[in-house]
Amino acid sequence: MALKHPRVLLLGGSGFVGRHLAAELANRGHRVTLPCRHPDRIKALSVLPGLNIIAETDITQPQALDRLTRDQDAVINLVGILNERRKGDFRRLHVDFPQAVVEACQKNGVPRLLHMSALGADQASGSSLYLRSKGEGENRVHTFGQKKLGVTSFRPSVIFGADDSFINRFAALLRLCPWPMPYLPLSCPQARFAPVYIGDVVRAMADSLEDPASIGQRIELCGPETWTLQQIVESIRDALGKRCLILPLPDGVSRVMASLLQHAPGKPFTPDNYLSLQTPSVCATVCPQCRHRLSHFLKGLSGGHNRRPRLDDYRRH
């Protein structure tokens, strides 16, 4: 975008990626509107220059989307879920909502849309409902966005950072070691990832806003290292200085764990998550701008990990 201070609407901006992207865009002088359901939870972001956080009870309502997309130079859609609360949520949020975003952009003359998909997303042959719905949403924005709208989509592997939910979840479990938990049973230990650093992800997205050559592209984002889940969890354990046996569960037991844990509060692991992990989350092509290594990041892990994002993080960013 050639504009000096472009107006950007950030949908799904209250989540992990959104908070970092809001900071990146604000630091580049963009004027960012961030509608969200719980503005109190991201109060710390209000220190960012040019960021306007607004309370919006339901951005999926067509009237809200219509109002929000007026007078914007670009829209970024990060809305996504890992598990359905109600049957049909994947379709509603990953397929219908992105299409509604495209239509609202076209109606209101927004010229640019960035859409967040996921590595392995595939409408026809994704291994899980999550991956199929993400794939269908990605196809919709590219197909329906062809007219008058410059669309770029992003397909990251798992994303890590100080306030992520991936590394933090295992770090929190491992902190219970060795007592009361002398060992950690691990489902799908051979699942493969190329974890990508949050700073690299948001830089790639913000760069693409300014790069017309990225229009029409589906950009894969992977870090420089490939890991199995077992290796990642062992490295977190070592970084935390914990003595704990990581117990790899065989495939059948992993499936049983998924069907049990889907009923636990917060659904920590579901059959659909199990199916997603059957697809290696690694890139076919090298991502030149994704240079930060998970191994370096984990060396900096201490007992103090799992902190909430602090004001200083955003200032430094």
Ligand X SMILES: NC(=O)c1ccc[n+]([C@@H]2O[C@H](COP(=O)([O-])OP(=O)(O)OC[C@H]3O[C@@H](n4cnc5c(N)ncnc54)[C@H](OP(=O)(O)O)[C@@H]3O)[C@@H](O)[C@H]2O)c1
**Which stretches of the chain bind ligand X, using CB under 6 A?**
12-18, 36-38, 59-60, 78-81, 93, 116, 118, 156, 158-159, 166
Residue 116, CB-side half-sphere exposure with 13 Å CA sphere: 26
Residue number, 44 or 81, with CB nearest to ligand X:
81
Residues in the chain: 317
Q: Which residue in the shown chain puts its C-beta closest to ligand X?
A: 15
Name residue 227's beta-bridge partners: 193
Which pairs with CB-CB distance under 8 Å and at least 24 residues apart come from 250-253? 251/188, 253/187
For residue 57, the minimal CB distance to ligand X (Å) is: 9
3-state SS assignment for residue 151: strand
Residue number, 118 or 209, with CB nearest to ligand X:
118
For residue 42, the minimal CB distance to ligand X (Å) is: 8
For the beta carbon of residue 302, count every other beta carbon within 10 angstroms.
Answer: 10
Question: CB neighbours of 84 closer than 8 A, spacing ≥ 6?
Answer: 90, 129, 272
Q: What is the gyration radius of the CA atoms in the chain, in angstroms? A: 20
Residue number, 110 or 222, with CB nearest to ligand X:
222
CA distances from 315 to 22, 26, 61 (A): 12, 11, 33
Residue number, 47 or 55, with CB nearest to ligand X:
55
3-state SS assignment for residue 197: strand
For residue 185, the minimal CB distance to ligand X (Å) is: 22
For residue 29, the minimal CB distance to ligand X (Å) is: 23
Task: Please give the Cα distance from 193 to 190 (Å, whole number).
Answer: 10
CA distances from 240 to 170, 190, 217 (A): 11, 22, 39
CA end-to-end distance (rounded Å), the chain: 22
Residue number, 130 or 239, with CB nearest to ligand X:
130
Residue number, 170 or 177, with CB nearest to ligand X:
170
Task: Please give the Cα distance from 291 to 13 (Å, whole number).
Answer: 24
For residue 289, the minimal CB distance to ligand X (Å) is: 17
For residue 61, the minimal CB distance to ligand X (Å) is: 10
Residue number, 39 or 248, with CB nearest to ligand X:
39
Task: Please give the Cα distance from 30 to 6 (Å, whole number).
Answer: 5
Q: Would the CA dihedral through 259, 263, 264, 267 be positive or negative?
A: positive
For residue 288, the minimal CB distance to ligand X (Å) is: 19
- Tokens matching residue 175: 């902190």
Residue number, 242 or 317, with CB nearest to ligand X:
317
For residue 153, the minimal CB distance to ligand X (Å) is: 11
